[in-house]
Each structure stands twice: as C-alpha cells, then as structure tokens.
C-alpha cells in the first residue's frame, strides 16, 4: 500500500516534470504521453486512496463490534459504575470521530508522500531555492503544530462536555414523567443545566473550528508567500532561471491542494486520539 501511494506521488511529479520539460519549453514529446501519465496518476491515486479507506473503515467496524461485545461481557455493576451516558457518548461520538479520522487518513498519507516527492523534484531543480522552500515549510509546520495543539485541547474539553450532554438527554427521557408533573424542576433543569452546557459546547466548538481554520489559512498563506519569494529571488538576484522559477512555483501550487488536505486532516486525527483515550477510559471488560 505504501508503495502504491508512493507511486501515485511519483507519477504526479512525473507529470510536472513532463509539463516543465516538454510542454512549457516546447521540446517536443507530444501530448499523448502527457495524457497517458495523467491517466496512470488518476488510476494509481484513486486505487491507493480506496485501499487506505478500506483499511480505515475495517478498523472502525472492528472497534464498533468489539465495543458492543465488551459491553455485553462486562458485569452489571461495572456498567452502572461507568454510567450509561458515558457509554452512549462513546458509542456515538467516539466511534463517529474515529470514522471521520480514518476517512481523512488517506488524504494525510497521500498528501505527505506527495509533498516529499515534490521536495525531491525541487531539490533537483535548484538547491538554493529548495532550501528557501524548506525553511518556509518548516515555518508552516511549526505554526500548524501550535494551532493543532490548541485545537486538540479544545476538543478534549468538548468531549468531556459531550458526556454531560448525554447525561442530560438520558435525564430528559427517563425522568420525562416527573419533569412533566413538576414544571418548576423542569424549568430549573433546562435553564441551569441544559442551556449552560449547550452554550459551553457551542463556544468550545467555535474555538476548535477557529483553530482549524487558522491552521489551513496559515498553510495557504505560507505557500503563496513562498511562490512570491521564489520569483523575487529568481528575478532580482538570479538564483534560478525564469523557467526553473516557473517550474518550482508550479510545483508549489500543485503541492498546495494535497498539503492543505494533509493539514486539514490533522485536527481529525487529534479528535480520534481523544476518542481512543475516551474508549480506553471506560474500563470495560477486555475483548475476548
């Protein structure tokens, strides 16, 4: 699977190299080989992503069935100690987070390998401009790491709030008759518990989404800044020919989509980490 994903990245670089060497500079080569490379890239990338998705969803399916089996094998006292709201939150929220994370995992794997292949191509074009690009990418990685850690902290808070929301759902259903008869208690439950918890989750979710947006926009800004710096160094300081500068810039812009997808997948993976920890913290019977 790794070889197939690497192959799709290499084919993508091959397409860029072909465009730079033959189509941009008019050195012949024809359009048919370009279409052939494009078709091979489409097939390899799609097949690799499909196989990665299958692996991820098989894992999620296994987690779902094992969790139900562990619940069935646990003693009643253990279930009561854990609390049904926490278990229901894990069956819903945590499994969903894992499913979303594994849906985005192919983007992270393919994006990372493709970026590494692009780096190799950039190094072959111009060592000096590659170093500039590498420094800019390091700045992007550092900034993204800081933001993603903030996102991770927000999601951990949100996950704890989900347990409380699940408890309130259960209270509203199990205690429906009592809450209907005692309107004062119902109003107090709604105003003092439901509304504050919902507002807290809303604010935490907005903060997490803001960090996610910052990570993506930081990456896009760094990519565009790198293109501008490369053209400046090539045009005003002669670090590379205009053809090489164009090829490097085109490669960077081609990297932008998979790199953005990879950066966008990181928060989902952080959420899956929280979900796995929440599942482990349930303390259910071991799977057998």
**Mapping DSSP to helix (H, G, I), strand (E, B) and coil, where does residue 280 land?**
helix
Burial class (CB in 10 A: 0-12, 13-18, 19+), 9: buried
Q: CATH classification of 58-281, choosing from 1.10.3720.10, 3.70.10.10, 3.60.15.10, 1.20.1560.10? A: 1.20.1560.10
d(CA 135, CA 147): 19
d(CA 124, CA 64): 47
Tell me the C-alpha distance between 223 and 137, whole Å. 8
Res 39: pLDDT: 92
- In angstroms, the CA 252 to CA 96 distance is 34
Task: Enumerate the H helices of the chain as residue ranges.
Answer: 2-18, 32-73, 76-82, 84-89, 95-125, 127-174, 176-181, 183-189, 195-237, 242-281
Based on C-alpha coordinates, what's the Rg of the chain? 25
Q: Could you give the CA distance from residue 148 to residue 3 in angstroms, rounded to a whole number?
A: 29
pLDDT of 79 reads 83
What are the angstrom distances between the C-alpha of 228 and each of 69, 80, 192, 223, 248?
56, 61, 54, 9, 11
Q: Hey, where are the domains in the chain? A: 58-281
Q: Is 191 exposed, middle or buried (0-12, 13-18, 19+ CB in 10 A)?
A: exposed
Q: Which of 279, 270, 276, 272 is nearest to 151 (CA)?
A: 270
**pTM more than 0.75:** no
Q: What pLDDT score does 25 carry?
A: 66
Q: pLDDT tens, position by position, for the chain (288 residues)? A: 667 777 777 888 888 888 877 777 666 667 888 899 999 989 988 888 888 778 878 888 888 888 888 888 888 888 888 888 788 888 777 888 888 887 777 778 878 888 888 888 889 888 999 999 999 989 988 898 888 888 888 888 888 888 888 888 888 888 888 888 888 888 999 999 999 999 999 999 899 889 888 988 998 899 889 999 998 999 888 898 888 888 888 888 888 888 877 777 777 788 888 888 888 888 888 876
Please enumerate in sequence order all residues whose Cβ is within 8 A of that of 186, keeping only pairs 6 or more positions apart, or say none: 179, 180
Burial of 258 by CB count in 10 Å (0-12 exposed, 13-18 middle, 19+ buried)? Answer: buried
Given its phi and psi angles, is residue 83 left (phi above 0), alpha (psi -120 to 50 degrees) or beta?
Answer: left
């Amino acid at each position: 699977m790794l070889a197939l994903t690497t192959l799709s990245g290499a084919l993508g670089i091959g397409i860029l190299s072909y465009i730079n060497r033959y189509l941009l500079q008019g050195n012949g080569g024809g359009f048919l080989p370009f279409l052939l490379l494009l078709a091979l890239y489409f097939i390899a990338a799609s097949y690799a992503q499909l196989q990665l998705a299958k692996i991820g969803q098989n894992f999620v399916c296994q987690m779902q069935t094992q969790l139900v089996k562990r619940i069935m094998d646990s003693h009643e006292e253990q279930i009561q100690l854990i609390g049904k709201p926490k278990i229901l939150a894990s069956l819903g929220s945590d499994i969903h987070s894992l499913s979303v994370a594994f849906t985005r995992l192919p983007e992270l794997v393919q994006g990372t390998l493709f970026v590494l292949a692009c780096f190799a191509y950039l190094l072959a074009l111009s060592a000096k401009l590659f170093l500039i690009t590498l420094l800019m990418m390091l700045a992007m990685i550092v900034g993204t790491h800081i933001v993603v850690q903030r996102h991770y902290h927000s999601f951990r808070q949100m996950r704890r709030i989900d347990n409380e929301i699940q408890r309130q759902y259960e209270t509203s259903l199990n205690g429906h008759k009592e809450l209907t008869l005692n309107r004062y208690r119902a109003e107090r439950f709604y105003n003092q518990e439901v509304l504050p918890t919902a507002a807290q989750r809303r604010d935490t979710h907005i903060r997490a989404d803001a960090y996610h947006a910052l990570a993506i926009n930081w990456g896009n800004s760094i990519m565009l800044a790198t293109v501008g710096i490369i053209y400046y160094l090539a045009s005003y300081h002669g670090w590379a020919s205009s053809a090489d500068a164009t090829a490097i810039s085109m490669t960077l812009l081609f990297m932008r989509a998979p790199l953005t997808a990879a950066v966008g997948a990181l928060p989902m993976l952080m959420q899956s980490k929280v979900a796995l920890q929440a599942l482990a913290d349930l303390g259910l019977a071991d799977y057998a």
